[in-house]
Amino acid sequence: MTVSGIIGGLLLVLGAAFLLLAGLGLVRMPDLFNRIQAGTKATTLGTLLTLAGAACLHPEWTLKLLLIGLFILLTNPISSQVLARAAHRIGAAKSAKTTLDRLADDTEERP
């Protein structure tokens, strides 16, 4: 077992742990917006750590993995934002804990 192999393995486990947290967040959060929050953040870091781990185990893949990481960083938040916007536009249910919704207030004011 080489040093890079050990580091790579640790990164893979850490990445998987964040992906597990994302899944747990999807189950535990009360409404769609909070679920998206948990999903986006934990999957982004989880996937990046998994990619970094794979790069340690297979150094010859590093460039491709770097490229995949870049695309995930750019596209993951965009897809979440579009989902959240669409959900808000069709009036998706919000948790009873929600204290304020300025977007709903502002869209009501407009004719």
Residues that bind another protein (CB under 8 A): 18, 21, 24-25, 28-31, 33-34, 36-38, 40-42, 44-45, 63-64, 66-67, 74, 76-78, 80-81, 84-85, 88, 94-95, 97-104, 106
Closest approach of another protein to the CB of residue 57, in Å: 17
- Quote the CA–CA distance of 41 and 30 in Å, as a whole number: 17
Could you tell me the smallest distance in angstroms from the CB atom of residue 1 to another protein? 27
> Which residue's CB is nearer to another protein, number 40 or number 50?
40
> Going by C-beta distance under 8 Å and a sequence separation of 6 or more, which residues neighbour residue 6?
none
Question: 91's torsion region: left (phi>0), alpha (psi -120 to 50) or beta?
Answer: left
CB of 20 to another protein, least distance (A): 10
